[in-house]
């Protein structure tokens, strides 16, 4: 998305952001942010840490925002959902990224979440694998727990314990008796990686491997396959037929979203509202995720 297009749509974007969040930051016209700071004066650094699944789309959002506000620097660090939560609790970032819902213990630690999009979890195999086009939950469970091959696929690639992608995958995948992966222990033969990129690299270099990554991260280095006979597409996630899906959340320090945003620095507030605006949500959709209202 080009800067001129974003600037031209600021009035609409910010009006929608106000309706969506119930808080005032920007004005609908002029060069005033609503906090007495003009766009030319807005400056500072925003630090965002957490989910490597959200990192690519957050980077795209940051790039577009920094084109509008050249005196603002946004640093995005992919450290995993769990670390994003603990960083937010410890005031080590402006807000975190979690590709899963927060649990009760995390919320008790003084953070809340705000969904910015939904995302599918894509099952990916090596591009040379022409025989594997569909897998079932039962097959995945048996591979990750008992090393049972799925046709030519004999190597399972997974994520570390703190990964939001793993948390969602383990919750959603169960065997025919209803036993979910979250209640089981991965086989010692599962190759554990600590980022989306590392999973993709392993699958891309291993002809008999399968792994799971964010749908928005799928590129031509790997091949996505169907799950339970349904292709991993945005349309199928929206209509509810593709079952491997999870939320993309921001993690905010506070007891409720409104007060948490109110306590942010001016550039962090501005970036938050941009993410929630139609322009921000369009970037999210263009990046392969499922926007909240586009």
Tokens 């995958």, residue located: 169
Position with higher pLDDT, 1 vs 73: 73
pLDDT in the model for residue 269: 96
Whether the CB-CB separation of 139 and 268 falls below 8 Å is answered with: no
* Helix or strand holding residue 251 (H, E): strand 245-253
Q: How far apart are CA 96 and CA 252, in angstroms?
A: 7
Question: pLDDT at position 23, please?
Answer: 36
**Candidate from 2-6, 57-61, 98-102, 176-180 with smallest mean pLDDT:** 2-6
pLDDT at 140: 98
For the stretch 41-56, pLDDT in tens is: 799 999 999 999 899 9
pLDDT band at 162 (very low <50, low <70, confident <90, very high): confident
Q: Determine the Cα angle at 95 with ends 94 and 97, to 5°.
A: 145
pLDDT for 293 equals 82
> Largest Cα–Cα distance in the chain?
63
- Tokens standing for 39? 């766009």
Helices (H), the chain: 3-8, 10-21, 55-68, 81-89, 104-108, 137-146, 164-172, 196-204, 234-238, 257-262, 266-276, 278-286
CA distance 271 to 63: 11
> What average pLDDT is seen over the chain?
88
Q: Count Cβ atoms within 10 A of the Cβ of residue 5 and give its class: 0-12 exposed, 13-18 middle, 19 or more buried.
A: exposed
Share of the chain above pLDDT 90, in %: 82
pLDDT value for 33: 47
Tell me whether residue 104 is exposed, middle or buried, using C-beta atoms within 10 angstroms of its C-beta: 0 to 12, 13 to 18, 19 or more.
exposed
pLDDT (tens digit per residue) in 211-247: 999 998 999 999 999 999 999 999 999 899 999 999 9
Asked whether the predicted pLDDT for residue 262 surpasses 70, the reply is yes
Rounded Cα gap, residues 27 and 14, in angstroms: 7
Q: Average the pLDDT over 265-271 and give the result.
A: 97
Residues 6+ apart with CB under 8 A from 280: 13, 61, 64, 274
Q: Looking at residues 187-206, what average pLDDT do you find?
A: 97
Q: What is the DSSP letter of 123?
A: E
∠ Cα 124 233 153 (to 5°): 20
Residue 3 scores a pLDDT above 90: no
Is the pTM value of this prediction over 0.95? Answer: no
* pLDDT tens-digit series, residues 69-122: 999 999 999 999 999 999 999 999 999 999 999 999 999 999 999 999 999 999
Q: Lowest-pLDDT range, 31-35, 58-62, 240-244, 268-272?
A: 31-35
Q: Quick check: 208 pLDDT over 80?
A: yes
Q: Which residue has the higher pLDDT, 82 or 20?
A: 82
pLDDT of residue 41: 76
Tokens for 212?
């799971």
């Amino acid at each position: 998305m080009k800067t001129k297009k974003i600037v031209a749509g600021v009035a609409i974007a910010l009006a929608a952001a106000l309706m969506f969040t119930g808080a005032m930051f920007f004005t609908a016209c002029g060069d005033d942010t609503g906090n007495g700071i003009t766009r030319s004066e807005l400056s500072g650094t925003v630090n965002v840490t957490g989910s490597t699944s959200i990192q690519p789309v957050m980077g795209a959002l940051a790039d577009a925002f920094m084109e509008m506000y050249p005196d603002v620097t946004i640093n995005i660090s992919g450290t995993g959902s769990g670390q994003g939560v603990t960083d937010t609790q410890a005031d080590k970032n402006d807000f975190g990224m979690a590709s899963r819902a927060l649990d009760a213990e995390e919320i008790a630690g003084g953070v809340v979440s705000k969904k910015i999009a939904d995302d599918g979890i894509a099952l990916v195999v090596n591009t040379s694998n022409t025989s594997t086009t569909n897998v079932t939950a039962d097959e995945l469970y048996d591979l990750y727990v008992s090393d049972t091959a799925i046709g030519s696929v004999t190597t399972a690639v997974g994520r570390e314990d703190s990964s939001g992608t793993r948390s969602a995958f383990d919750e959603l995948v169960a065997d025919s008796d209803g036993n979910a992966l979250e209640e089981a222990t991965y086989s010692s033969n599962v190759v554990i990686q600590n980022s989306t990129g590392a999973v993709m690299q392993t699958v891309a270099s291993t002809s008999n491997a399968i792994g799971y990554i964010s749908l928005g991260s799928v590129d031509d280095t790997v091949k996505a396959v169907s799950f339970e006979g349904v292709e991993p597409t945005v349309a199928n996630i929206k209509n509810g037929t593709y079952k491997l899906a999870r939320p993309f959340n921001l993690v905010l320090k506070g007891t409720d979203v409104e007060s948490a945003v109110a306590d942010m620095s001016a550039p962090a507030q501005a970036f938050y509202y941009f993410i929630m605006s139609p322009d921000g949500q369009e970037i999210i959709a263009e990046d392969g995720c499922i926007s909240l209202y586009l």
